[in-house]
Amino acid sequence: MGTGQGKSDRLLVAVILFGAGWLAYKLNSRPSLAPYADLVLPPSDRKFTGLRVAFLGVSTLLVDDGETAILTDGFFTRPNRRKLLIGKVEPDRALIAKSLERSGIKHLAAVIVTHSHYDHAMDSPEVAKLTGALVVGSGSTANIARGWGLTEDHIRMVRDGESVSFGRFRVTLISSQHAPTVFTGGEIREPLVPPVRANHYQEGGIFSVLIEHDEKTLLIQSSAGFVEAALSGRRADVAFLAVGGLGRQDDVFQHAYWREIVKTVGARRIIPIHWDDFTLPLEQPLVPIPFPFDNFAKSMAFVLDRGRQDGVDVKFAPTWTKIDPFVGL
Ligand SMILES: [Zn+2]
């Protein structure tokens, strides 16, 4: 009996050690970006005066026409895994200021917050403080802004289908759905004062963001989910498309996501977003979200294949650099 028990204990320990070692190996063996190097859009010409976009990780996108600039989400702090698992998170003021400077952002008309998870909304009120922007988003986002001391005149709560204009931009927020994860749902019902556990940044509903500018239209989909027919009747030339978590979904979900977002708006190009591991700093070259949280290669195989079938161009946006998202279309 005694030796039998000892043997099975040793076996259990061996299995646990093997499992932990395998997980650590997988977490650190990053999916490669090399196969997609040819898909990266070039920096826009210095003399180019049209609409330009800079990708700043996750679904933080600067959209600038030279007169007016708006930003989606505005997440720069990117707390590390330890802070997410056992610590608390809060906006890093110095890092946000430094990131805005590196992006060339001085004044922003608005920070459009797509949902209230920390990796989208946490830094938005600090960005607003530094740039004079209006924080636009859900009731939960408004409570994140209040918790950071923003006054009501710098907060604009919007409902499904509402449009707000900034310069020549018309921004419409349309209710959508989060990618299926355990963190989906919930609301922030009172001002949220960080530092707090990351999961206190409850989702608060998702918005697809439609940006119309003169003749050009962009859609920003910050999470790989959808509401059936929510975008019918809307048009967008280019869709910035969240692929985070898409590779973990089955074929039926992936095709439905493509149909409800890309096909419905008639996008001729998609630019994947929310693929980067946001527990790592933005200063380092971005790397995809590792296993077991995602399957980046599978997400990319799907969008490239569907893109080929439907004649939809797939491109990547470089980090920090302004591009013309419509170039060559
Ligand atoms: Zn989210």
Cα 244 to ligand 1 centroid, rounded to whole Å: 10
- The identity of residue 144, as a single letter, is I
Give residue 321's pLDDT.
Answer: 96
- Give 8's pLDDT tier (boundaries 50, 70, 90): confident
- Give 7's pLDDT tier (boundaries 50, 70, 90): confident
Cα 18 to ligand 1 centroid, rounded to whole Å: 32
8 Å CB contact between 212 and 243: no
Give residue 292's pLDDT.
Answer: 82
Give residue 10's pLDDT.
Answer: 82
User: Residue 266: left if φ>0, alpha if ψ -120 to 50, beta else—which one?
Assistant: left
Give residue 181's pLDDT.
Answer: 84
- Reported as a single tens digit per residue, the pLDDT across 181-225 is 878 889 999 999 999 999 999 999 999 999 999 999 999 999 999
Sheet holding 110-112, edge to edge: 155-157, 134-137, 110-112, 69-72, 61-64, 52-55, 322-323
Cα 205 to ligand 1 centroid, rounded to whole Å: 9
Cα 45 to ligand 1 centroid, rounded to whole Å: 33
Q: Among 13-17, 106-110, 211-215, 254-258, which is the least confidently predicted range?
A: 13-17
Give residue 250's pLDDT.
Answer: 95
Is the pLDDT reported for residue 18 higher than 80? no
Is the pLDDT reported for residue 56 higher than 60? yes
Cα 83 to ligand 1 centroid, rounded to whole Å: 17
- Reported as a single tens digit per residue, the pLDDT across 137-192 is 999 999 999 999 999 999 999 999 999 999 999 999 999 999 998 788 899 999 99
Residue recorded with tokens 């008639």: 266
Cα 13 to ligand 1 centroid, rounded to whole Å: 36
Cα 119 to ligand 1 centroid, rounded to whole Å: 7
Cα 202 to ligand 1 centroid, rounded to whole Å: 9
Give residue 30's pLDDT.
Answer: 75
- Reported as a single tens digit per residue, the pLDDT across 274-289 is 999 999 999 999 999 9
Cα 26 to ligand 1 centroid, rounded to whole Å: 23
Cα 204 to ligand 1 centroid, rounded to whole Å: 10
Cα 115 to ligand 1 centroid, rounded to whole Å: 7
H-type alpha helices, 211-318: 251-258, 264-265, 296-310
Distance (Å, rounded) from C-alpha 286 to C-alpha 292?
18
Distance (Å, rounded) from C-alpha 144 to C-alpha 150?
9
Give residue 116's pLDDT.
Answer: 98
Across the chain, what does the average pLDDT equal?
94
Give residue 26's pLDDT.
Answer: 63
Cα 117 to ligand 1 centroid, rounded to whole Å: 5
- Reported as a single tens digit per residue, the pLDDT across 295-309 is 999 999 999 999 999
Give residue 21's pLDDT.
Answer: 72
Is the pLDDT reported for residue 1 higher than 60? no
Provide the 10 A C-beta neighbour count for residue 258: 24
Residue recorded with tokens 């330009």: 52
Cα 93 to ligand 1 centroid, rounded to whole Å: 22
Give residue 223's pLDDT.
Answer: 97
Residue 310: strand, helix, or coil:
helix
Cα 32 to ligand 1 centroid, rounded to whole Å: 23
- Give 13's pLDDT tier (boundaries 50, 70, 90): confident
Share in percent of the chain as helix, strand, coil (round to 5): 35, 20, 45
Give residue 23's pLDDT.
Answer: 67
- Reported as a single tens digit per residue, the pLDDT across 229-275 is 999 999 999 999 999 999 999 999 999 999 999 999 999 999 999 99
In the chain the first and final C-alpha atoms are separated, in Å, by 73
